[in-house]
A and B are shown apart, each in its own frame.
Chain A
Amino acid sequence: MEILLQTVLSTIEMAVFQNSQLVSKLQSPSLQKSNNTVVYDLQKWLQNIGLPFSHIHRFWVVNGPGYYTGIRIGLAIAKAFSDTTTIPIRLVTTFHWLRLGIPSSMERCCIFIPSSKKEGYLAYMHQFSVESVQCIEKEQMGTKVENGTLQEPLFVPCDMPDLPLSYTKVGDISTLPFVYKEVFVSNDIEPEYIKSVDDLFHQKKEGH
């Protein structure tokens, strides 16, 4: 059995797979309300579906980008599992996670992932390769679309509040990612914040 945990978007998702087939899935409505209870929800959900923790042989976790607090919650859990068990951990970026929900026939696309109330990250993807990522304010996204500077179809997470621009919501993914990084020691479990602390601090200082 394999468990996948996604805590970096507004909606927390956990799913269990057997032989790469989705067996069960749980979505918590709001990160803000349930970020204290992710492990509790995981425990109850495993009990409800009758899956003992010892039967988990692989743990997948989305390591960002996305909401900073959410990234840390998922990875703190992954680190504890890695420290106390021999379960291998597979790290998946949010871009690769969401790309799974976009038809593979679409070669090029843009994915926007919120990281705070005001801003997020816009990635240009060619198939499963991330070609570039930029930090952008949500309001600026509309301007980009209006000006035609966004040349590829835009996708956003399905739980994201509406934006004043045209896009397709993507989510409710039921397959396991095939682009990932497998790690066996917790020290290698690293977040994808994109923005460094210096970037954040300078932005704050400049009054943005």
Chain B
Amino acid sequence: MFIVGIETSCDDTAASIINEKKEVMASILSSQTSFHAKYGGIVPEIASRKHLELISHVCQEALQTSCLRWTDIDLICVTKGPGLVGSLLVGVEYAKALSLALNTPIKGVHHIEGHLLSPSLTQTITYPYMGLIVSGGHTEFVHVPKAGIYQIVGSTVDDACGESLDKFGKSIGIPYPAGPIIEQYAARGEDTKFSFPLPSVRHRPYDMSFSGLKTAVLHVLQKLSPNELENEIWSLCASYQRALFYHITTTAQKILASYPSTMVLLSGGVSANQTLFSMLQLSIDIPVLKPGKGLSTDNAAMIAWAGYLRYMAEGSDSLNFEVQSSLELESYAVE
């Protein structure tokens, strides 16, 4: 069975072809980062326009890479939300039209479900597990007691972790996307040189807040001259990164104490950060798995895989399913 996945929820246009044995035959991604960098962040209208421009290219390239034709495809999976509505619509309408023209079943996929399941594409997982999605748009803990059961137990109440890194980067002159550069700079600095308060959300111990750290950074920056900032930029990055990740790891400890799990599946774009992975491994006593190469950031292989599993459980969707900017992650199995 050949499954095509299409992902256009944010600023990357991606298409992938996998089979039911979890073999990724093609995973093509066209990043729009350079277009958005000019504007200092993601501009939804640019994202939508680029998706329309690129959607055919990436899908055709995925087919060529996997040596298949459209008529060989057995299932079309596409991200239906959450995300930027204009971006989602391009992928979904393209996928629906494929489904109509080819008379092939279609399945709408929740973006977070794709991330949650991405580590399982390359590794064996055991239940119950704790999914931790850390990206530019999401920071969530999802408890998965068995396949198809999802319980969101904690999340950010304001900025996502990746978003916080981008905002911090902007405040010290690091271009978008700032996360990978901050990681490089942090490796050269002292992570205890600057002290940032550990945020907390009152009466919600499993939720996180990252927006307060921005104010703390502003206070530090006000006290630094341009020369001092230049000299301290490594340690500033290291300290900020540590504060963010410490907030996540301490929340993980609290959640795991209440939700026994066999492993943590770390995913999302920030899961590629080695410091986060190491801090998480050191702070908890169960294995931490992260996605294979190319599967951490937004990609279409995870959409194809999540869509295939849901299709096997529920069957295909009608062509009238909707795209939604915010979408609840629904379970498909009965606990």
Q: How far, in angstroms, from A69 to B47 measured CA to CA in the complex? A: 12
User: At the interface, yes or no: B45 with Cβ under 8 Å from chain A?
Assistant: yes
Residue-wise, chain B 40-56 has the 8 Å CB interface mask toward A (1 for contact) of 00010110110110011
In the complex, what's the smallest C-beta–C-beta distance from A81 to chain B, in angstroms? 6
Q: Are the CB atoms of B43 and A201 closer together than 8 Å? A: yes
User: At the interface, yes or no: A20 with Cβ under 8 Å from chain B?
Assistant: no
Residue-wise, chain A 32-70 has the 8 Å CB interface mask toward B (1 for contact) of 000111111011000000000100000000000000110
User: At the interface, yes or no: A106 with Cβ under 8 Å from chain B?
Assistant: no
Q: Are the CB atoms of B56 and A186 closer together than 8 Å? A: yes
Q: Decide: A81 near B90, CB < 8 A? Known: A40-B320, A43-B319, A187-B57.
A: no
Q: Are the CB atoms of B43 and A39 closer together than 8 Å? A: no
Q: Are the CB atoms of A73 and B93 closer together than 8 Å? A: yes
Q: Decide: A40 near B96, CB < 8 A? Known: A72-B89, A193-B49.
A: yes
User: At the interface, yes or no: A75 with Cβ under 8 Å from chain B?
Assistant: yes
Q: For chain A, what secondary structure do more than half of its interface residues adopt (helix, strand, loop), or is it mixed? A: helix
User: At the interface, yes or no: B278 with Cβ under 8 Å from chain A?
Assistant: no
In the complex, what's the smallest C-beta–C-beta distance from A30 to chain B, in angstroms? 14
Residue of chain B at shortest CB distance from A78: B97
User: At the interface, yes or no: A149 with Cβ under 8 Å from chain B?
Assistant: no
Cross-interface CB contact of A80 among B57, B86, B89, B101, cutoff 8 Å: B101
Q: For chain B, what secondary structure do more than half of its interface residues adopt (helix, strand, loop), or is it mixed? A: helix
Q: Are the CB atoms of B93 and A76 closer together than 8 Å? A: yes
Q: Are the CB atoms of A36 and B48 closer together than 8 Å? A: no
In the complex, what's the smallest C-beta–C-beta distance from A64 to chain B, in angstroms? 11
Q: A36: which B residues are within 8 A, CB to CB?
A: 89, 92, 320-323
Q: A84: which B residues are within 8 A, CB to CB?
A: 70, 98, 101-102
Cross-interface CB contact of A53 among B48, B100, B322, cutoff 8 Å: B100
Q: How far, in angstroms, from A40 to B46 measured CA to CA in the complex? A: 27
In the complex, what's the smallest C-beta–C-beta distance from A193 to chain B, in angstroms? 7
User: At the interface, yes or no: A101 with Cβ under 8 Å from chain B?
Assistant: no
Q: Are the CB atoms of A76 and B97 closer together than 8 Å? A: yes
User: By the criterion of a CB under 8 Å from any partner CB, how many residues of chain A are at the interface?
Assistant: 31
Q: How far, in angstroms, from A65 to B9 measured CA to CA in the complex? A: 24
Q: Are the CB atoms of B94 and A80 closer together than 8 Å? A: yes
Cross-interface CB contact of A43 among B92, B100, B321, cutoff 8 Å: B100
Q: Are the CB atoms of B52 and A72 closer together than 8 Å? A: yes
Q: How far, in angstroms, from A97 to B319 measured CA to CA in the complex? A: 28
Q: B60: which A residues are within 8 A, CB to CB?
A: 83
User: At the interface, yes or no: B258 with Cβ under 8 Å from chain A?
Assistant: no
Q: A68: which B residues are within 8 A, CB to CB?
A: 45, 48, 86
In the complex, what's the smallest C-beta–C-beta distance from B307 to chain A, in angstroms? 17
Which of B70, B97, B102, B323 counts the most chain A CB atoms within 10 A?
A: B97
Q: How far, in angstroms, from A197 to B45 measured CA to CA in the complex? A: 7
Segment 51-99 of B: residues with Cβ below 8 Å from A: 51-52, 55-57, 59-60, 70, 85-86, 89-99
User: At the interface, yes or no: B318 with Cβ under 8 Å from chain A?
Assistant: yes
User: At the interface, yes or no: A191 with Cβ under 8 Å from chain B?
Assistant: yes
Q: A73: which B residues are within 8 A, CB to CB?
A: 89, 93
User: At the interface, yes or no: A79 with Cβ under 8 Å from chain B?
Assistant: yes
Q: Decide: A39 near B96, CB < 8 A? Known: A76-B55, A81-B101, A84-B102.
A: yes
Q: Are the CB atoms of A40 and B319 closer together than 8 Å? A: yes
12 of the cross-chain contacts (CB-CB < 8 Å) are A35-B89, A36-B92, A36-B322, A37-B319, A42-B100, A69-B48, A76-B91, A82-B56, A84-B102, A187-B56, A191-B52, A200-B45
For the complex of A and B, 8 pairs with smallest distance between CB atoms:
A80-B97, A39-B96, A40-B320, A40-B319, A186-B56, A36-B322, A76-B93, A77-B97
Which of A's residues lie within 8 Å of B, judged by CB? Answer: 35-40, 42-43, 53, 68-69, 72-73, 75-85, 186-187, 191, 193, 197, 200-201
Kindly list 11 other residue pairs between chains A and B, CB separation below 8 angstroms, not including A68-B45, A83-B60, A84-B98: A36-B321, A39-B97, A40-B318, A72-B48, A72-B93, A79-B52, A80-B95, A186-B56, A187-B57, A197-B43, A200-B45
